[in-house]
Structure 1
Amino acid sequence: MHKEHHVTSSEIIRDVVIGMSDGLTVPFALAAGLSGAVSSSALIVTAGIAEIVAGSIAMGLGGFLAGRTEVDHYNSELKREYNEVEQVPEQEKAEVKEVFAGFGLSVGLQDQIADELSKDKKKWVDFMMKYELGLEEPNPNRATKSAFTIGVSYIVGGIIPLSPYLIIHTAQEALYYSCGVTLICLFIFGYFKSKLTGQPALSGAFKVVVIGALAAGAAFGMAKLINGG
C-alpha cells in the first residue's frame, strides 16, 4: 500500500522555533559583547538575566498580539461575508462558480453546487472564507498559548549561553565554554528545525550556527573596539 509522508509543523512547533532561535542568539550575542568589555561574570549574568526576562516578555507579547490580530481579522472578514451573502447573493454565487470553474467542473455542475450551497448560509460563508479568502478559523485560545510557548522557549534558549557564566567567574574563560555549548545547541536546533520544515538538515544547521556566531562575534568585536581593544 502506498503511503505518503508529509512533514507538518504544528503551531506549537512554530512558536518553539521562534522563541528558541532568538533565545539562543540574542543572549549569546549580549554575553559575548559584554565579555569583550568586562571581566566579571557576575555582571554578565545580571545583564543576561535581565535581557532574558525582557526578551521573553517582548517575544511573548508579540506572539499574543499576532494571535489576536489573526482572530480579529478572521471575525471581520466573517462578518463581511455574511453581509455579502445577504445583500448580494447572486454575486456570491458567481464567486462560488469561479472557484469550481478553476477545478474544471462543467457550468451545469457549477450552478448546481452554487444553488445547493446557498441553501445553508453558514456552510456557504464557511466555503467562501476558506476557498475565496483562504482563511481558516483560528483557535480563540491561540494567542495565549502562543505567548506562553514563545516566552518559555526564549527563556530556555537564553539560559544555555548564560549557564557557563554562572559557574566560571572569569568572563573571558566563561565565553569559551559559552561559545562551545551554544554553537552545539544552535547546530542541533538548526538541524531539527530544517528537518521539520522539509529543508536540507545539515545546510540549515550550519546556517543557524553561522548566524549565531556572526552575531556574537560582532558584539564582542564592537565591545573591544569601544573599550580601545
Structure 2
Amino acid sequence: MSRSVEAEQHRHPYELLGDVILGLNDGIVTTLVFALSVSGAAASNQAVVIAGLAEMLAGGVSMFLGGFLAGQSEKEAVEHQISVERHEIEAEPEEEREELRQIYREKGFTEGQTTSIVEHLTSDTERWLNSMVRDELMIRPGHFVNPWRRGAALGFSFAAGALVPISPFLLHMSRAALVSVVLSLLLLFGTGAARSRFSHSSWVRSGAQMVLVGVIGTIAGLGIGRLLSSGL
C-alpha cells in the first residue's frame, strides 16, 4: 500500500464503539445465561464462579481472535483492492483517466472543470491513486480497523461484561442469581445510555433497546438450554 494512502487510514475516535458494545453485550448475556444455568442446577457459588470465570476467559480469547481475524481479513481485502487500482493506473492510464472524468461528470462538474480537475489529480501518481481509491472504490480514510485493536476491543469488553453477572457469586451475596440479573440489566441500560452520546438519540430509548436485546438473548439462551436438557 502507498504511504500516502496508508497514512490516511487513521482511526476515527468512535470507530471502536461498535466493537465495545458488541463485546459487552455478548459478555453480559452469554455469561448471565451460563451463570443462571449452573446456579439453577443447585450448584454452589464456588462452582458458578469457576464455571463463569472459565466462560469469561474462553469467551474473551475467542472474541479477541475473532476480532483480529475479521480485522485482518478486511485489511488484506482493502490492500488488495488498492494494489489492483495502482496496477491499473500503471497499465491502463488512459482508461483510468476516463473513469475519473466520468466520476466528476456525474458529480455535476462541467467538461472544462472536469478536465482541469483530472489533469491536476493525474499529474501525481499518489494523488491519482488516492482519488481513485476514494471516488471509485469508495474506500475512505479509516475504512479498515487495526486488527489488534479490534481484537482487543472485543476481547476485553467481553471479559468486562462477563465479570458483572458472576460478581455476585464471587462475593457470596445472598440471592446472587437475582442480583446478577439486576446488575446485568443495569449495565446493559448504562451501555445503551452511553451509546446515545455518540448517536445523539434518546438515552432512555437507547438504554431500553440494549436491555430489550439482552433480555431476549437471555430468555432465548435459557429456553434453548432447558429444551435441550429436557430432551436428553
Length-normalised TM-score, structure 1: 0.85
Q: Distance in 1 between matches of 2:104 and 2:47?
A: 64
Report the CA distance between 1:165 and its aligned residue.
0.7
Please tell me whether the aligned partners of residues 195 and 201 of structure 1 are also in contact (alpha carbons under 8 angstroms): yes
Please tell me whether the aligned partners of residues 75 and 145 of structure 2 are also in contact (alpha carbons under 8 angstroms): no
Match of 2:156 in 1: 152
Please tell me whether the aligned partners of residues 36 and 223 of structure 1 are also in contact (alpha carbons under 8 angstroms): no
**CA shift in 2, pair 1:92/1:43, >3 Å:** same
Q: Distance in 2 between matches of 1:78 and 1:102?
A: 22
Structure 1 runs not aligned, ≥5 long: 1-7
Match of 1:196 in 2: 198
CA offset digits 1:122-165 (Å, max 9, x no partner): 11011100111111355998111221222111111110111001
CA offset digits 1:47-103 (Å, max 9, x no partner): 111111111111111111122112211211111111111121121111111221222
Report whether the alignment pairs 1:212 with 2:214: yes
Q: SS in structure 1 opposite 2:41?
A: coil
Please tell me whether the aligned partners of residues 59 and 147 of structure 1 are also in contact (alpha carbons under 8 angstroms): yes
Q: Which moved more, 1:152-161 or 1:211-220?
A: 211-220
Please tell me whether the aligned partners of residues 99 and 131 of structure 1 are also in contact (alpha carbons under 8 angstroms): yes
Q: Distance in 1 between matches of 2:113 and 2:209?
A: 51
Q: Which moved more, 1:156-165 or 1:203-212?
A: 203-212
CA offset digits 1:167-195 (Å, max 9, x no partner): 2277xx21111011111111111111233
Report the CA distance between 1:224 and its aligned residue.
5.5
Equivalent of 2:61, from 54, 57, 64? Answer: 57
Please tell me whether the aligned partners of residues 37 and 223 of structure 1 are also in contact (alpha carbons under 8 angstroms): no
**CA shift in 2, pair 1:221/1:139, >3 Å:** closer
- What is the Cα-based RMSD across aligned positions, in Å? 2.4
Please tell me whether the aligned partners of residues 36 and 221 of structure 1 are also in contact (alpha carbons under 8 angstroms): no
Q: Give percent identity, aligned residues only.
A: 29
Q: SS in structure 2 opposite 1:11?
A: coil
Q: Which moved more, 1:153-162 or 1:130-139?
A: 130-139
Q: Distance in 2 between matches of 1:77 and 1:223?
A: 44
Match of 2:117 in 1: 113
Between the two proteins, the alignment pairs up a number of residues equal to 219
Q: Distance in 1 between matches of 2:143 and 2:137?
A: 18
The higher relative CO (CA closer than 8 Å, separation ≥ 6) is in 1
Length-normalised TM-score, structure 2: 0.84
Report the CA distance between 1:39 and its aligned residue.
3.3
Q: SS in structure 2 opposite 1:105?
A: coil
Q: Distance in 1 between matches of 2:97 and 2:137?
A: 15
Q: Distance in 2 between matches of 1:93 and 1:67?
A: 32
Report the CA distance between 1:38 and its aligned residue.
2.6
Equivalent of 1:186, from 185, 188, 203? Answer: 188
Match of 2:27 in 1: 23
CA offset digits 1:201-227 (Å, max 9, x no partner): 322211211222233334445556646
